[in-house]
A and B are shown apart, each in its own frame.
Chain A
Amino acid sequence: AAPVQVQLVVPMAVVFGPGSVPADLPSPLPFRDVQEMEISVNVRTSVTSRYEMHYRSATGQEEAALAAATAQEADAALHPLQDTTLGSLTMYVVPETTSLLPQGINVYVGKHRSALVRAGGSLAALQARLREVTQVMSFTASSIAAALSDRVPDGQLSPDARRYLKSSLGYEITFSLLNPDPKSHIVDWDIEGAVNRYVKPVLDKLSLVANFSVDSQILYYAVLGVTPRYDKESSSFLLSAHSLPHVINPVEARLGSSAASLYPVLNFLLYVPEHSHSPLYIQDKDGAPVSTNAFHSPRWGGIMVYNVEAPASPQASLPLHVDVDMARVMEVFLAQLRLLFGLSREEVPPEFLLESPGNEGLADWELDHLLWAHTVENIATVSTTLTSLAQLLDKIGNIVIKDDVASEVYRAVASVQSAVTKLSLGHLHAAFQASKEAVTSSERAFFDPSLLHLLYFPDDQKFAIYIPLFLPMAVPILLSLAKIVRETRLHKKEPTKMD
């Protein structure tokens, strides 16, 4: 793989609220400091992270905002006063005894790009805490390694780390309603309304990352491939965790996908169990029913089982009319969408309190998280692609490069250089756009149909074709040539002899 040296610069502001300044500052506020860390993925790939920190004390407006009653209000009040460029972070240090943060919580991460950090007494303790926060909010060594997963030597990455969606220019999201028993259930789902109300805000926020297209369908008589077991104790049907992998395949054949789009497809299925198999619960590995009644498969999508409430009177006539509670369904689907992208809040240390992003689906810093990972991944992909294209051209000497392929290669090189430069300046958004352009150009150049090596004969094949044709023909010619030469020589000698 091609060597990749990238420097990721995170501009950070550390704002000290009143009463929180540690006693052992090296120089009076404001001052700047830089912390660098190297994330080495393999011998030829290294990513250095550089946190450029600007320590200063709070302005009057910020102090007023920090005097709010709860952390949430403080965060909301501080939002207009911050630097909101993509990739930047602002940390507000609050005194140890502050009432903004509840007991036991040392860090409150807002839904934009700021956090409230409890002072730790000394500068070193504060810096340790700040390091933790910045890693959560921007990128960690493992998230970068996961983005560069095809360069990590086998065995160093846990197998789970390679499961997030690969960076792509677009994604297609398909919502499907599976109704295996239309005789018993008439299921209505207001998917259009749900998409407009709940999904669109999330996708609008993610539109920086990629283009999304959404479609939906209803499939009748589509059954899961697995028969659930009946459990007498709970008088319900159970699907055990180890039978879940076999559920997807029989359904996939019927899901279909747009013939024109080449983007990865994310399928979200809502399954309404048959009347005879209701209610249906999914069991996790320990045998407990899962609260969401849903599971997902990395890089594919998710499935949720929607149980129809038993009718009030057991003599209710079939078919039952079911109105799906789309909010509940979308809560699960959007959570699965986040997990598919790798935005999980599970690895956060316990003393952190994360603000819920609400209907936007993801916090600004989570968007940054995605952008950092995708930018690094794009840059690595482009360098691998261009290097292997160069190797291909070396191997096949007489390959013809069309002009447009050449211009795509130049564009890819220029874009990737610009992306690396912008990253080292801390402009995440511009770097991401440049890396996207670089990927588009390099893929177009690499996968150009004219580069098929089959079309360019190696030299030994040319010899193999023409030697059998010309060699037999050449034998009498060469012999005759030899005869001519001998005759001419004899002829030349004769006049001298005949004298």
Chain B
Amino acid sequence: VCTSRFWFNYRHVANTLSVYRSVKRLGIPDSHIVLMLADDMACNPRNPKPATVFSHKNMELNVYGDDVEVDYRSYEVTVENFLRVLTGRIPPSTPRSKRLLSDDRSNILIYMTGHGGNGFLKFQDSEEITNVELADAFEQMWQKRRYNELLFIIDTCQGASMYERFYSPNIMALASSQVGEDSLSHQPDLGIGVHLMDRYTFYVLEFLEEIHPASQTNMNDLFQVCPKSLCVSTPGHRTDLFQRDPGNVLITDFFGSVRKVEITTETLSLDRHVAGFESKFPEEELVTEPLKYAEQLPVAQIIHQKPKQKDWHPPGGFILGLWALIIMVFFKTYGIKHMKHVF
């Protein structure tokens, strides 16, 4: 998830796309990745190299190729959509690619980057997600067993505050900086004019370059990535909620996808001379009038992404009473004679 937009946050998009590439390289298919980006970098009018997003200076690696599948882009990257994806409370019309269809045997990797603070993460400069909300969302996932193990990586300023409040089991968390510290960016590119990557993600990616699908490297090595000397901030991690020892957890458990397979030793014995059913057409296609477009998808349902009951307003009487009080006090203090001039 990349939670920022605008040109000067180029590095966050590059971070996210680089992690996306590594994860795809290690075997996870697009159907198993939910990518949320503001996606306003590649075609930004300020981009001197349109249709590209580089993650390394001197423009060595274009991470925005033609097989990047962004599931939530631009204004769809909101706290609400993010929490909906996590908890599964999604409107029924959402397509499969925008859902997290995980079950109790799935290991989930969540990578978030953007601007953050002590206990919150800023989404697209207009809203925030707090660490309490994130912890609650994970708890909802755990209640429905939507994950087996979860690895949460966050690369923002004061990132460690985001994992302080987790309380569900089987979560491991990594952050790029502790509370009170800022995460710094890595390298500016003079040709493009912005910083291309954040330090922590840069070193994590260097580490991931050496991982291949059959590799046996474990999590303890990932914790060592980016020491203070290189990163300036102190990366942190949290493993107390995790059942297994991090030394036994392979990197490919989360970043790659190595499936359990079994050799099939049994066969069914089929009688080959059985007459088949006549290939019927699908039974009784009910002949209905073709629906007009507007009727098929209620427009209200498409437009209204949010439920109507969102904001809590103080009851009307309260405001009126407050104003009445203010006016009364004003006139009592300064004399009743002024009231004649108002009315």
> Footprint of B on A, CB under 8 Å?
149-150, 154, 162-163, 166, 192-193, 196-198, 200, 241, 244-246, 248-250, 252-253, 257-262, 282, 284, 290-292, 294-300, 302, 304, 327, 330-332, 334-336, 338-339, 344-346, 356-359, 361, 384-385, 388, 391-392, 395, 400, 446-455, 457, 462, 466, 470, 473, 477, 480-481, 483-484
Contact = CB atoms under 8 A, between A and B. Distances in A.
17 contacts: A150-B145, A154-B243, A163-B105, A248-B261, A252-B29, A252-B31, A294-B263, A295-B261, A295-B263, A384-B143, A384-B144, A446-B144, A449-B91, A451-B89, A453-B140, A454-B80, A480-B333
B339 interface: no
B296 interface: no
Given A330-B270, A448-B89, A297 B260 contact: yes
B178 interface: no
Given A154-B243, A296-B264, 8 more contacts: A193-B279, A196-B277, A252-B29, A294-B264, A331-B267, A452-B307, A470-B322, A477-B325
Contact of A162 (B95, B105, B271): B105
B337 interface: no
Contacts, number: 186
Contacts of A480: 329-330, 332-333
Contacts of B101: 262
B289 interface: no
B249 to A, nearest CB: 14
Contacts of B270: 198, 327, 330-331, 334, 358-359
A449 B95 CA distance: 15
Contacts of B87: 447, 452
A361 B270 CA distance: 8
B309 A462 contact: no
A344 B262 contact: no
Contacts of B275: 197
Given A166-B103, A252-B31, A246 B96 contact: no
A327 B267 CA distance: 11
Interface string B205-237: 000000001100000000000000000000000
Interface in B226-264: 243, 257-264
A297 B267 contact: no
Q: Chain A's interface: helix, strand, loop or mixed, by majority? A: helix
A253 B267 contact: no
A449 B84 contact: yes
B266 A327 contact: no
Given A295-B264, A477-B325, A193 B276 contact: yes
A200 B265 CA distance: 23
Contacts of A345: 266
Contact of A245 (B28, B91, B259, B312): B259
B269 interface: yes
A484 B262 contact: no
Leading 4 A-B pairs by shortest Cβ distance:
A197-B276, A388-B143, A249-B27, A196-B276
B192 interface: no
Contacts of A450: 89, 307
B89 A332 contact: no
Contact of B333 (A150, A361, A455, A484): A484
B79 interface: yes
Contacts of A282: 263
Contacts of B56: none
A345 B243 CA distance: 33
A363 to B, nearest CB: 12
B329 A335 contact: no
Interface string B148-165: 000000000000000000
A241 to B, nearest CB: 7
A448 to B, nearest CB: 7
Interface centre among B96, B257, B262, B322 (most CB of A within 10 A): B262
A150 B105 CA distance: 10
A262 B263 CA distance: 28
